[in-house]
Structure 1
Amino acid sequence: MPVFKDEARGTFYVKTYYTDYTGAKKQKLKRGFKLQRDAKEWEREFITKQAAQPSMPFKTLSDLYLEDKQAHTKKITYETKKNRINTWILPYFNTQPINEISAPDIRKWQATLKESKNANNEPLSAGYMQNLVMELSSIFNFAVRFYGLAVNPCHIAGNTVGKKTRSLNFWTKEEFDKFIDTFEKSSPYYVAFLMLYYCGMRIGELEALTAADVDLDTNTITINKTYHLINGQGIVTTPKTQKANRTIIIPPFLSAVIREYEKRIYGLEADMRLFTASHSTYARQMEDHTKQAGIKRIRLHDIRHSHASLLIEMGFSALLVSERLGHENVSTTLNIYSHLFPSKQIEVAERLEKLCADNTYL
């Protein structure tokens, strides 16, 4: 039996030998179990993970999947996946062997999602349910790729929960001006919302900005990090994607506003964050001042969409919009904003007609 009593500490420990995926024999030592049965349970799960056969319980597979994601994705991505799995997926499949989970089982699970309520006692949105369906499919793809599962049952089951409906809400410049006029110009929120609207940055990128990132002499802002609140702890990480690392050129009037704002920050150092309010605080400020302005309600992230729509209305190309927003590629920009770009079909036909006016094709 690989479970032993640590007489000096009054606890139990596991000492077991196993063969890893390379065929090498190794030893595993785990201490600190208060109860012998807890040590035995840990040892059983550990051995199961090392064996990792298609007959393993779904819980074991989800643990392996999350371990992999923790090693290869950003912390915020890992925490999001962990929350989705532990809340909506693991309780349903839990101890079922993964090779016995069928397409009908997946469809029954999807049916439970349609009847479920979130923390606010509201039905889950189609977009969120689609994210859960995709997450479960990713787990089974992981099993197919690394642990010998023959087929992903999600591919057979399909999606019965519906798909995201992409709706794009934004403010026109006139609406934004009504909104921003409700703030005192000395308010930090006045400066923050001006920067969000005229730079198109994400709220996390704004929250991560330090004085060193803003060069008021060259009218540039360098974005190379983002701020997240994870499990109640503020964490600064690299941006969402590689292309999100960018330098934004800002209009001189915005530089002047920022300069006055920096003068009001006592003891400002280069590495100090310029905006320290929480995401929820910005959201509340936005909601309160939207009501004061008497304009339509949009989300905090929709200010980014408002910046994009402003650039498009001004005639800038999709490539320029993509670079300014920090999208990974221009196709992302077109997928989101293609309907905002004016159609040039009639203009193309008229210019082709003019080009060929002197030619005889008839």
Structure 2
Amino acid sequence: MPIYEYVKSGKTHYYYAFEVKEKNGKRKTLKKRGFKTKKEARSAEAERRVEWESGMSIDPSKMTFGQYITDWLANKNDITPETRYTNEGHLRNHIIPELGNIKLQSLDVGHIESFISTLKKKEIAQSTIRKIFNLMQTCLKSAHRKQIISKNPTDLMDRGSKPKVNKPNIDYWTKEEVKTFFSKLKHRQKLLFVLAIYCGMRRGEILGLRWRDIDLENRRIHVRNSLRPQQGLTNNVKTASGYRSITFSEFVKSEIIRHKEMVEEEKKMKDDYRDQDLVICQRNGDHISVGNFTRMWKYVINNTEMRYIRFHDLRHTCASLLLSAGVHPKVVQELLGHSSIKVTMDKYSHLMPNMQAEAADTMENLLN
């Protein structure tokens, strides 16, 4: 677009002017005067165009990082409600208080490294610090791509100064502990724990499981739904690979039948039963909330006097028992719904210490 000149007090000055279309269809002209050179006017015009196209109504040079990242997250449409809820918490509790008032175009490596050090002093989990950093990094990458900032400061950081996540320690019960747990377990929702340990299902997948997704005749569970903390019951699961079919054993089949009979009896006893076709539910048919679930798990642990592990670790227990028994990792991957066998191997390779020894013995037997 051309830059225009005008004369004021005997001196030549420049201005930019260009037309834009608002959301309501009306057109208006964005214009600014007072530039001493064409280059200054052209640079300012470019920034103003980026500002307009980004939906910003504030001068980029005056915009704070807090303003930008808040608007950026609000307009981000490729995340789940759970992720949005978590990210908004990171903004509210950490990013805005520490970095919110810094001008976006002034934010530098020193600010970010100091911020990370502050988070560490607060003894925030390393995995959480990494998620906060990733959120900022993605936001700044977007600002750089839109030419709102000339450089992304996170790209200038030394590799060693970026927060890392150590490989988490995976806890699980041994075969003997699982047997002890079920021998002591006296609970209405026994099937919930059976599905976690025998089938490796996630908490949300179990709480969102419906009777129509269970094929008793062929002993298969079709994982199609999930219960999410923010979304409630949904017709989707955590990842694309989470959609899967799980073949279950005769023991699991007997537990499903027993549980179904119990639910049918409860339906007869309540006139206000809210039938949502849920397998795991409250006595009135409603789904179990995540908050109540956490309390229930602690109650079960105390009543059975078991060594504490997270409920999610029952899924790890399933994987560890299968892998230690020699089940192929590909089968375990498909059972758990991992996106690739690499995920399974990275998580559970330490449970397969004999694989190299077996490979060495196999080679010797083949050649000798």
Normalised to the residue count of structure 1, the TM-score between the two structures is 0.77
- Alignment CA distance shift 1:223-1:91 (3 Å): same
**Does the 8 A contact of 1:211 with 1:269 survive in 2?**
no
2:174 matched residue in structure 1: 172
Shift of 1:154: 2.1
| Cα distance per residue 1:260-279 (max 9 Å; x no partner) | 21122244998522222233
195-204 or 286-295, which deviates more = 286-295
198-207 or 47-56, which deviates more = 47-56
Q: Partner letter of residue 335 of structure 1?
A: D
Taking the aligned partners of 1:207 and 1:346, their CA distance within structure 2 comes to: 41
Residue identity (%): 23
1:248 aligned counterpart, secondary structure: strand
Q: Partner letter of residue 208 of structure 2?
A: A
1:318 matched residue in structure 2: 329
Taking the aligned partners of 1:48 and 1:219, their CA distance within structure 2 comes to: 53
Whether 1:216 and 2:216 are equivalent positions in the alignment is yes
- Which of 88, 96, 121 is matched with 1:90 structurally? 96
- Which of 251, 257, 274 is matched with 2:279 structurally? 274
Q: Partner letter of residue 72 of structure 2?
A: Y
Shift of 1:256: 1.4
- Alignment CA distance shift 1:74-1:54 (3 Å): farther
209-218 or 273-282, which deviates more = 273-282
Taking the aligned partners of 2:348 and 2:54, their CA distance within structure 1 comes to: 50
- Alignment CA distance shift 1:86-1:283 (3 Å): same
Superposition pairs of residues 211-250 of structure 1, within 5 angstroms: 211-230=211-230, 234-250=232-248
Taking the aligned partners of 1:47 and 1:356, their CA distance within structure 2 comes to: 66
**Does the 8 A contact of 2:129 with 2:163 survive in 1?**
yes
Taking the aligned partners of 2:364 and 2:198, their CA distance within structure 1 comes to: 39
- Alignment CA distance shift 1:125-1:352 (3 Å): same
Taking the aligned partners of 1:269 and 1:256, their CA distance within structure 2 comes to: 25
Taking the aligned partners of 1:270 and 1:341, their CA distance within structure 2 comes to: 44
Unaligned runs of 5+ in 2: 1-17, 26-50, 268-272, 281-286
1:163 matched residue in structure 2: 165
Taking the aligned partners of 1:237 and 1:50, their CA distance within structure 2 comes to: 38
Taking the aligned partners of 1:165 and 1:348, their CA distance within structure 2 comes to: 26
Taking the aligned partners of 1:152 and 1:343, their CA distance within structure 2 comes to: 46
2:315 matched residue in structure 1: 304
Q: Partner letter of residue 277 of structure 2?
A: M
1:315 aligned counterpart, secondary structure: coil
Q: Partner letter of residue 166 of structure 2?
A: K
1:26 matched residue in structure 2: 22
Shift of 1:237: 4.6
1:132 matched residue in structure 2: 132
1:204 matched residue in structure 2: 204
Shift of 1:225: 1.8
| Cα distance per residue 1:88-111 (max 9 Å; x no partner) | 112222232222111111111112
What is the Cα-based RMSD across aligned positions, in Å?
Answer: 2.9
Taking the aligned partners of 1:270 and 1:250, their CA distance within structure 2 comes to: 25
Taking the aligned partners of 2:148 and 2:82, their CA distance within structure 1 comes to: 29
**Does the 8 A contact of 1:130 with 1:162 survive in 2?**
yes
207-216 or 268-277, which deviates more = 268-277
Taking the aligned partners of 2:110 and 2:157, their CA distance within structure 1 comes to: 7
The structure number with the bigger radius of gyration is 2
- Alignment CA distance shift 1:194-1:107 (3 Å): same
**Does the 8 A contact of 2:185 with 2:304 survive in 1?**
no
Taking the aligned partners of 1:57 and 1:28, their CA distance within structure 2 comes to: 28
2:56 matched residue in structure 1: 49
Unaligned runs of 5+ in 1: 1-18, 30-43, 117-122, 358-362
Normalised to the residue count of structure 2, the TM-score between the two structures is 0.76
